[in-house]
Structure 1
Amino acid sequence: MAAIYLREADVARLLSMEEVISALERIFREQAAGGAENIPRGRCRGEGAMLHLLGGASRELDALCFKAYTTTKTSARFLVHLYDGSSGDLLAVVEADQLGRLRTGGTSGLATKLMSPTNASRVGIIGSGRQARTQLEAVAAVRKLESVEIHSRTKESREKFAAEMEERLHVPVRPVESATLAVRDKEIVITATSSRQPVVEKAWLSPGVHLNAMGSNFAAKTELDLAIVGACRQVVVDDVAQAQIEAGELIQAVAAERFSWTRAVELSSLVSGEVDGRSDPGETTLFKSVGTGIQDLALASMVYKLAKSEGVGQPLPY
């Protein structure tokens, strides 16, 4: 049986955020039980581009995958190769820009479900790019939101984001002039920026806030004041080994002696029930996302099965 090629439009049409979060929850539960494993991301540089590679395996899904993507100063292209876990046959090649945004947002949504106050309804978000959209969509899928405030560097971008997301989520979304205003008095704060310097300061945060920080996956970058990391009772990552390479906020907090890797908890431990995401309403919690191969695998496997059931996808000649 020939493998199929799935385009961005196929992924966007076939996957919903609710299904994404459920698929991610299942694969993190499998990881906790020892049935799913990651290949941490590796990188190499060309003259003007960088190649990034990561992968994962799941016994429950009977599937393997690797994601390869290239980035330049002006562009990026993402592809996931999905394989049968028993035969090793190629099943699909999936364009994975939208898939990546969904899995990153969905993982933050899952963390929010397990870590934020159950009655959290006020959200502040820094960043107005494509990743910010799926971050907010995922949080709205797990909490009943009453208001959102958004700040980003350009007025036009944040106003466009607010109008688009208000229409999509049917929740008031207001653009504001500063990051301070965006995060003040919020129960959930999202950072989805490309900043190398902190965009959120500890003094701006309310007691009991939950933070999702996903913009930085390089050691030299941090979106959060390091004092925030030190103040969090619970710091959760998608994968400790990968976070030790890429989670700039945590790497820098360790170097500043504000944090220890022994305090880092993997999201799979929350999903399995081994660790509580929140034990006190007044504590500050942080989910630091860098992205892993099993997240890509969960979604690639799901979109492949949906595509096959609907007869979607272009046959490949191998």
Structure 2
Amino acid sequence: MVSDVLVLGADQTRSILARVDLSDACATALIELSRGGVSAPARGVALTPDGAMLGSMPGYVPGLGLAAKLVTMSPVPGRPGRSLHNGVVAQFDVEDGRLTALVDAQSITAVRTAMAATLAMRAIGPANPTKIAVVGSGVQARAQIELLTEVACPVVVGARDASAAGRLAELHPQGSVDTIEAAVRGADVVLCCTGASSPVVDRSWLADGVYVSSVGGSHGCPELDAETIADASVCAEWPGSVTEPPPVGAPELQGLDPSEVISLGALLDPSDPQSVMEPGAAITVFKSTGHAALDVAAASVVVAFARENGIGVTIPF
């Protein structure tokens, strides 16, 4: 059977993502995930001797579709903590299984990850933050800052690369640059977006009541220290963040009782009795490992927009 397949390259995918809002689709995917409506196995991972990783992430989300992401993460020689991400999200017809679209995976991954952290911040972070610290200066940090441009408080970027941090800080009307420690101290929201090879935030830098998100650690290295997790109420996208070993699960959450880690979807679901974090913890943490449900959600929005606006190339396949 020949299928007409829509192909969206990196530039086209980025352009669409800058014009659409993923919040509703990502929230729907996370809620369905917490309710058990999503069909998705744990991410499959293949590793090369040089440290590159190929991840496979298929998933079905009711109302949003069927898709699979293949993405590579390759270390940059001589630059510890830096990695290159490349890949594709393939969308399929739910009824007959035809391939319907191929979309750039790096762009999808960056924005859907930043959106998950933003949804968690809205759910469990301070209602009116006075200072937001973004830790990192790469693609993921940029995607996060672009979702903060309308937040009316200072955003301080802390990173090892001061020049790259400066370029990112310019994206926010109240952006500035400092060391990682100085950026984090005094912040009531801390958003970690690094390819960490060791923890980038120390518990002693964090004020009580702070909200922390961590979306790094794809290669199985912790982005947050053990003391931060010990003092925190924790939420994550899925139970496998705790029960699966790294790099599929989160290195910071290994050994925790899975029942003590609430799903982000439950926090977003007003009908769920767990839609409020338990009081008493000094800080709240959202630890992301990524999930196929979010890729399905983001791809559904991007492909629908592309078809409605005549963007991309259609090829027979």
Tell me how far 1:45 sits from its aligned partner. Answer: 2.6
Match of 1:60, as an amino acid?
G
| 1:295 counterpart residue number | 294
Q: Name the counterpart of 1:156.
A: 163
The structure with the greater share of residues assigned to helix is 1
How big is the shift at 1:41? 1.1
Contact 1:14 1:303 survives alignment (8 Å): yes
Deviation of the 1:280 alpha carbon? 5.1
Q: Is 1:185 the counterpart of 2:179 in the alignment?
A: no
Cα separation, partners in 2 of 1:59 and 1:187, compared to 1, 3 Å = same
Larger mean CA deviation between 269-278 and 113-122 belongs to 269-278
Residue equivalent to 1:60: 63
What TM-score results when the alignment is normalised by the length of structure 1?
Answer: 0.88
Residue number among 269, 279, 284 corresponding to 1:272 in the alignment:
269
After TM superposition, give the deviation of residue 213 of structure 1 in Å: 0.5
Counting aligned pairs with the same residue, the percent is 25
1:281, distance to aligned residue in structure 2 (A): 9.3
| 1:85-234 matched pairs, under 5 angstroms | 85-140=94-149, 144-163=151-170, 165-166=171-172, 170=173, 172-176=174-178, 178-219=179-220, 221-232=221-232, 234=233
- Checking the alignment, whether the CA contact within 8 Å between 1:198 and 1:225 is kept in structure 2 is yes
**Letter matched to residue 31 of structure 2:** R
1-structure distance, mates of 2:148, 2:31: 20
Q: 2:10 maps to which residue?
A: 8
Q: Provide the secondary structure at the position in 2 that maps to 1:149.
A: strand
Contact 2:217–2:250, Cα closer than 8 Å, also in 1:
yes
Q: Contact 2:91–2:101 (CA<8 Å) still a contact in 1?
A: yes
- Distance of 2:276 and 2:182 partners within structure 1: 27
Segment of structure 1 superposing worse, 8-17 or 110-119: 8-17
Range that drifts further, 277-286 or 113-122: 277-286
8 Å CA contact retained: 1:123, 1:145: no
Per the alignment, residue 249 of structure 1 pairs with 252
The whole-number CA distance in structure 2 between the counterparts of 1:194 and 1:90 is: 32
Q: Which amino acid aligns with 1:124?
A: A
CA contact (8 A) 2:241 2:253 kept: no
Change (3 A) 1:18 1:139: farther
1:160 & 1:131 partners in 2: Cα distance? 14
Give the 3 Å change call, closer, same or farther, for CA 296–116 of structure 1 in structure 2.
same
Q: 1:40 aligns to what SS in structure 2?
A: coil
For 2:43 and 2:267, the matched residues in 1 are separated by 23
Alignment of 1:295-314 (within 5 A): 295-314=294-313
- Aligned to 2:14, the other structure's residue is in SS state helix
Distance 1:149 1:120, change over 3 A: same
Contact 1:5 1:315 in 2 (8 A): yes
Amino acid at match of 1:188: V
Query: Is contact 1:122–1:145 with CA below 8 Å preserved after alignment?
Result: no
- Distance, in Å, in 1 between the alignment partners of 2:13 and 2:218 is 24
Shift of 1:242: 4.2
Structure 2: where are the runs of 5+ without partners? 77-83
Change (3 A) 1:282 1:250: closer
TM-score by length of 2: 0.88
Compare 84-93 and 259-268 and name the one that shifted more: 259-268
Q: 2:81 — aligned with what?
A: none
Taking structure 1 as reference, are residues 147 and 126 closer, same or farther at Cα in structure 2, changes over 3 Å only?
same
